Structure 1
Amino acid sequence: MSTANFIPTIWSARLLESLKKTLVYGGLVNTDYEGEIKGKGSTVKINSIGAVTIGDYTKENGVGAPEELNSTQTTLTIDTAKFFNFQVHDIDQAQANVKLIDGAMKEASYGLSNAMDRYIASLYTGTVATNMIGSDASPVVPTVANAYDYLVDLGVKLDEANVPEVDRFVVVPAWFHGLLQKDPRYTKDSNVMATGYIGNVDGMTVFKSNNVPNTAGTKYKIIAGYKGAISFASQVDQVEAYRPEAGFSDAVKGLQVYGAKLVRPEGLAVLTVNKA
């Protein structure tokens, strides 16, 4: 696509970057299997071991015969492929005197990351029913007085499901975070107000994202959990620079493949809320 519409009388040596969301979900998943994928359609078999029996020892009975371990297997499928493909005309590069391709690559990288962030966030649908507060039929409408309390309740759901306390998180939309900022229980740490630090609630690191899943601006899915609940693997399959045959331009195309799996549904808790 030509950049002719952006040609000014005097050219600037800088590009105005687009406004971007904060991407957080990609940092809240397990990526242990990332090096094992080969491309779209490939699969990774993930094994898990069941509980080991603990018995009472006596000298008369000893420990008995060893038990057979119970194992389960789940499949992580690399089922999503995203691409970008753009060109910069030679005349545009000469006139603009800006690094158009470098800027476009940054935009492409962000676009791919944003798509992955939304993809990971959508996996909340596998959460076990006992770990849910509110529903699509009866969403909670939080207020300044109780928004903090609802996050504590999510933490209790994780406690009751024996979810590890290390690397716990909760992701809220901006308007919900605004409610928390008006609650002195959340802002009692001076660093929260002075630096914009998101803070913690009941041992969970609070993140803010505009990618919190919602339906038509309602029924926001506030997801709490720990890093081991979702396994995610991605790979940049190809990035190729080329000269299109028609015209005079430089072009770059790229392909990224990825997949994710909610391997521990009990490791997430979901609060369904509507904005007041």
Structure 2
Amino acid sequence: MWTPAVWASDILVHFYETSVLPAISNTKYEGLISGKGDRVIIRVMPDVVWKPYAKGQSLIYDDMTPGQVELVVDKAEYWGAKIDDIDKMQSDIDWLDKFTMSAAETGKINVDKAVLGAFYADVSSENSGSAAGAVSGSINLGETGAPLAMTKLNVTDIIVDAETVLDEQKAPQIGRWMVLPPILTNLLRKSELKDASLTGDGTSILRNGRVGMVGNFTIYTSTLLPWVMDGANRTYHIPFGTKDALTFAAQIPPKNVERLRSEQFFGTLVRGLMVYGFEVLYPDMVGSLYAYKA
């Protein structure tokens, strides 16, 4: 039986199983959206500041009015598929299940590429470049014209440097992540410290790209990271951060999932629309490496 709400839910479930985004962001505002153009006002609580105290002194009270960040669901992707009645009759597979899996997989590619290719530009200036570090200002994460040259000998050192950048921002230890392209994940697996540094399943990668742990970072791999040619080298913008820093929301409204009979041929048309949005809530809790495989 054709039920748009169930089919939309199935596609979204498969999308979340294969996309890296739910693993590196919080999705708690997803239930508040229903279509493109929706806006969610997110309150960002300021930090409580401790101060030295001397007997008899007057106390100073900080203004704890929450800041606001707006999550705008301003992006959309659609799919459309058709199947001829003759092909359906001659097929021994469940074509609807195949469409469901295909829609989720191709949706993941488009959405992951869009988000990974955009949000690194919103990171704090102290969390990228050749002089990163809110305290030290001396951690080299690479910059245009001078990217980091990653090898199997220094890959774990560079990852530790990125973690130090988050430490200097007092970012939470829990929920830290980094996304590497496969060519650099390959270096990590070949590194001399892999047995001590890379924990997790050493033989397989989960469907969402999870590789293992290095320090407090959960390492993911993705072919969808943005890259440029810097000189003769394919150089990647490599994001890292904490889950709370980035918010992501996606929905497939059941009203936008339809099955129709074609007017041009004997067959069925299926189409659907996914709406989504993302926002960096805490720029000081995300960063970006700029590196290539040497």
RMSD between aligned residues? 2.3
Between the aligned partners of 1:58 and 1:274, the Cα distance in structure 2 is 53
Q: How far is 1:271 from its partner?
A: 0.9
Which stretch shows the higher mean deviation, 212-221 or 82-91? 212-221
Give the partner amino acid of 1:152: V
**TM superposition shift of 1:174:** 1.0
Judging changes above 3 Å, is the alpha-carbon distance between structure 1 residues 187 and 62 closer, same or farther for their aligned structure 2 residues? same
Report the residue type matching 2:212 in the other structure: G
Q: How does 1:42-61 map to 2 (within 5 A)?
A: 42-55=38-51, 60=56
Aligned counterpart for 2:127 among listed residues 126, 131, 141 = 131
Identity %, equivalent residues? 30
> What is the one-letter code of the residue matched to 1:202?
G
Equivalent residue letter for 2:224: N
Q: Are residue 253 (structure 1) and residue 271 (structure 2) matched?
A: yes
d(CA) in 1 for partners of 2:45 and 2:121? 24
What is the deviation of 1:103?
A: 1.0
Residues 189 and 130 (structure 1), Cα distance of their counterparts in 2 relative to 1, 3 Å cut: closer
1:149 maps to 2:157: yes
Cα offset for 1:191? Answer: 6.6
Q: Is the 8 A contact 2:197 2:215 kept in 1?
A: no
Post-superposition shift, 1:232?
A: 0.8
Q: In the alignment, what sits opposite 1:37?
A: 33
Runs of 4+ in 1 over 4 A off after TM superposition: 55-64, 189-194
Query: Given the alignment of the two structures, is residue 79 of structure 1 paired with residue 74 of structure 2, yes or no?
Result: yes
- Counterparts of 1:169-208 in structure 2 under 5 Å? 169-188=177-196, 194-196=202-204, 198-208=211-221
Contact conserved, 1:80 with 1:257, CA < 8 A, in 2? yes
Structure 2 runs not aligned, ≥5 long: 1-17, 129-140, 206-210
**Does the C-alpha gap of structure 1 residues 221 and 87 become closer, same or farther in structure 2, counting only changes over 3 Å?**
same
Distance of 2:174 and 2:68 partners within structure 1? 24
Distance across 2 between alignment mates of 1:270 and 1:164: 17
Match of 1:270 in 2: 288
Which blocks of at least 5 consecutive residues in structure 1 are unaligned?
1-21
Q: Is the 8 A contact 2:197 2:213 kept in 1?
A: no
Q: How far off is 1:211 after superposition? A: 1.5
Bigger shift: 113-122 or 244-253? 113-122
Structure 1 residue 251 displacement after superposition:
1.5
The residue type paired with residue 31 of structure 2 is G
Using structure 1 for the length normalisation, give the TM-score.
Answer: 0.84
| 1:243 has 2:261 as partner | yes
